[in-house]
Amino acid sequence: MDVKYINPFLTATINVIKTMAFLDPKPGKPFIKKESKALGDVSGVIGLSGDLKGSLSITFEEDTIKHIVSNMFGEDINEINDEVRDAVGELTNMISGDARRQLQSFGVKIDAAIPSIITGKNHTITHIAKGPIVALPFDTEKGKFIVEFTMEKTK
Amino acid sequence: MDVKYINPFLTATINVIKTMAFLDPKPGKPFIKKESKALGDVSGVIGLSGDLKGSLSITFEEDTIKHIVSNMFGEDINEINDEVRDAVGELTNMISGDARRQLQSFGVKIDAAIPSIITGKNHTITHIAKGPIVALPFDTEKGKFIVEFTMEKTK
């Protein structure tokens, strides 16, 4: 996978979290590994296909997502409920959409599927990919989250 | 979503589990609901896009997937490890592939993304869909699993 694909996902994440939750997530150093397991409490996953095929996930610690969704709604969110799941679905759709718009400027057309939301204390997400998985860690004042994506050639 | 889309996913699941794990999963009654949360210990999720867009998940109880993967490999599998994750990825790809081939006979062309595997005791999966989610429950001699999918019009 071309490293130029990293920046669209990085800036999409920052843009969307900033716009939707009025937060400025601090990106850590992106890392690439063949097998990466994101560990967290609430995740959004969305499939990517088209010129390339792949998968995008965003995995939050519970405190992080409660803080983000509280900011989005302007009210205190104290549990992981359907409102939180819907909000994570919206964030996942928007990050995927913003990244895909940027990828199109490289001539790469990607369609998104619909997001699926996972909840469960300390779950892991593993993308079954032929190529490398890019992990983008972020810090907020209330906790961490991580974006992972992979894209590979379609047959 | 058209109910004629149910059968491809049902028969694909039975075919793939039978072929790969020499098991004959007993399908329960399919049910449809707007919000469905699959609860389990190991899941595969794959995005669908093309003429319709959606998502497919298959969620296993731990004992069920250990039994399935033990049969696939011809050796006892006693923990949820990377081999199990890879096997669930393969099953997810194959079920999606078989269902997509059948959907094409209705003139519906669907591309798949790559699968992501979730592990974590009692996690839930929620598809963020505009339309109904179809749930296909299955029983094996060692436990249950459930296939869920949703497809909706692309904009």
Question: Whole-angstrom Cα distance, residue A130 to residue A126?
Answer: 12
Q: Which is nearest to A153 in space by CA: A130, A136, A133?
A: A130
pTM above 0.90, yes or no: yes
What are the C-alpha distances in Å from A11 to residues A16, A36, A72, A151? 8, 21, 19, 17
SS (H, E, C) B21-84: HCCCCEECCCEEECCCEEEEEEEEEEEEEECEEEEEEEEECHHHHHHHHHHHHCCCCCCCCHHH
Q: How many CB pairs under 8 A join A and B?
A: 140
pLDDT in the model for residue B54? 96
Strand A26-27 and strand A133-140: the pairing is: antiparallel
CB contact under 8 A, A117 and B125: yes
Predicted ipTM of the assembly: 0.94
Would you give the end-to-end CA distance of chain B in angstroms?
Answer: 15
Tens-of-pLDDT digits for all 155 residues of chain B?
A: 788 899 999 999 999 999 999 999 999 999 987 666 788 999 999 999 999 999 999 999 999 999 999 999 999 999 999 999 999 999 999 999 999 999 999 999 999 999 999 999 999 999 999 889 999 999 999 899 999 999 999 87
CB contact under 8 A, B113 and A55: yes
Q: pLDDT tens digit string along A82-125?
A: 999 999 999 999 999 999 999 999 999 999 999 999 999 999 99
Cβ of A53 within 8 Å of Cβ of B89? The answer is: no
How far CA A55 is from CA of B49, B96, B116, in Å, comes to: 12, 15, 7
In DSSP terms, A124 is beta-bridged to A39, B119
Enumerate the residues of chain B whose CB falls inside 8 A of the CB of residue A114: 47, 53-55, 127-129, 150, 152
- Compute the nearest-CA separation of A63 from chain B (Å): 18
A1-49 pLDDT tens trace: 788 899 999 999 999 999 999 999 999 999 987 666 788 999 999 999 9
pLDDT confidence of residue A3: 83
